[in-house]
Amino acid sequence: MYIRLAQIGSNIVTNNDQVQYYHYQCVNDFLADALDTDIIIIQSNNDIIENACSIRKIPKFRYTLLLSESICDLPCAKQLIDGHWSSLNDAIKSLNIKVNRIAQLPNREQKGSIYSFASYLYVNNGMNIAPERNLSHPTLFTYPILDCFFENQSQNKVIDELSKLKVIQPLELVERLRLCPNCDDAHLNYVDQCPQCHSIDISTEVSIHCFICGHVDNQDHFVNRCGLKCPNCLHKLKHIGTDYDRPIENLRCAQCSNYFVDGEVVAKCMVCDRKHTPENLELRSIYSLSAGSNIEKILFSEDLTEQTAQLGEVVGFKHFTWQLDWALKLASRGLFFASLVKLQFDRHNDDLQKFDKNKELRFKEAFINRLAKQFRVTDIITQKDELTYYILLPCTTDELLKIVLERIHTFVDSIVDEESKYLDIKVSVLSLDKELSIKNKVCEIFEKLI
């Protein structure tokens, strides 16, 4: 039996009778061919992460032994490649370990990305998933392997879901980030500004405070040929502490001439242009990740749909429908009442092209996370599709509902400005009282909310 070995870049393995050998100039040539292989060797160059990603993205190469031609020190490479080439014997040993793990997987049929990712973690037992620093990414860190399995999905959402299912767990804290609460971007500029007129045109000024008349002014105005002289009372100022001192205010605003001790610090988002006080920024901790405690359960026994959300978390639409049905049945017996709120995003068609898809995704994610904070822990929130959210508010009187709606409107008004050019948010509401609940089924209830 031959081992099929593909080499991309330099020739470091020579042909021998154990190996069926293929050589490619670059990863694209290899992917164009996409022959079944047992071992792939890629170059250890600057593009190693990108190249390994494009190989791992192809389902048939997810479990192939992928080696770099020499040692790769990047911590984030470990989630994509299996090590470096040293000898054919070593490669065969690693290959056998991998093949044995793969053989233990219950079945390889497609069950969705989470299942495939859990299988990947199972095969690569003990893998450490370190974040890659990526300055062009909105949150500055990404996990390349998540891009291979969950392409075009928000990594934060993916990580939240995988953590909840215990497919992954945090291993080590790598960084703590502050993000713009409006667009979830970490590209912030912290700047001092005038506390009175909020101009950033401020500068340090060395001043003098005359004890004789109390005059405070720029030091330049006190200096004359013979030393210091107050420009107001014309007294000579000889001794610091007796005749004069330097005030602790030393910042001057060029716009309004305000003179102050500390500037007001604001974080300006370089993406959406909003200014925020540092306390209002979203905090996010970036961890390296490892396989979670539920991997084997998920692969060998449990159905993922059995997993439920914690109180206060956004639930799946199926879960929500079940809960609404239960609420309606109780309400129709007069034992319960609730309100159902629908939030509908609408894109302006003509501006559709202008709104960047990733920006929209991040905006909506930041939106739903902050929206969730506006509700009680017993309110139930779901996202039906890309543009529709429902919230079930149990035991909410009309008066309370009014307050909640006001809060939603204030919240929506407070965040929508740049985005409002592209997205409208419509709020509609329905009271689930006894009469309505007797007459309508769940699907009819959803239809009543336009």
User: Which residues sit at the interface with Zn ion, rule CB under 5 A?
Assistant: 180, 182-183, 185, 194, 196-197, 199, 210, 212-213, 215, 230, 232-233, 253, 255-256, 258, 269, 271-272
Residue 138 C-beta: closest distance to Zn ion, Å: 9
Q: Based on the number of CB atoms within 10 Å of its own CB, is 442 exposed (0-12), middle (13-18) or buried (19 or more)?
A: middle
Give the dihedral sign, CA 154/156/159/161: negative
* Cβ proximity of 235 and 227 under 8 Å: no
Q: For residue 89, which phi and psi values (nearest 5 degrees)?
A: -60, -45
Phi-psi region of 421 (alpha: psi -120 to 50; beta: other; left: phi over 0): alpha
Contact, 271 vs 180, CB < 8 A? yes
Q: Which is nearer to Zn ion, 158 or 415 (CB)?
A: 415
The distance of closest approach from Cβ of residue 183 to Zn ion in the complex, given in angstroms and rounded to an integer, is 3
Q: Which two tokens stand for residue 142?
A: 């990404």
Q: How far is the CB of 182 from Zn ion (least distance, A)?
A: 4
Which residues sit opposite 425 in a β-bridge? Answer: 345
| Closer Cβ to Zn ion, 171 or 212, answer by number | 212
> Which residue type, as a one-letter code, is found at position 444?
E
Nearest to 138 by CA among 150, 155, 151: 155
Give the C-alpha separation, 431 to 297, whole Å.
41
3-state helix, strand, coil in the chain (%, to 5): 35, 25, 40
CB of 270 to Zn ion, least distance (A): 8
With contact defined as beta carbons under 8 Å apart, do 339 and 396 qualify?
Answer: yes
Nearest residue (CB) to Zn ion, 97 versus 271: 271
Q: From the CB of 255, what's the least distance to Zn ion, in Å?
A: 5
Q: Please identify, using beta-carbon distances, which residue of 213 and 400 lies nearer to Zn ion.
A: 213
Nearest approach in angstroms of CB 197 to Zn ion is 3
Q: Among residues 30 and 259, whose Cβ is nearest to Zn ion?
A: 259
160 vs 264, beta carbon nearer Zn ion: 264
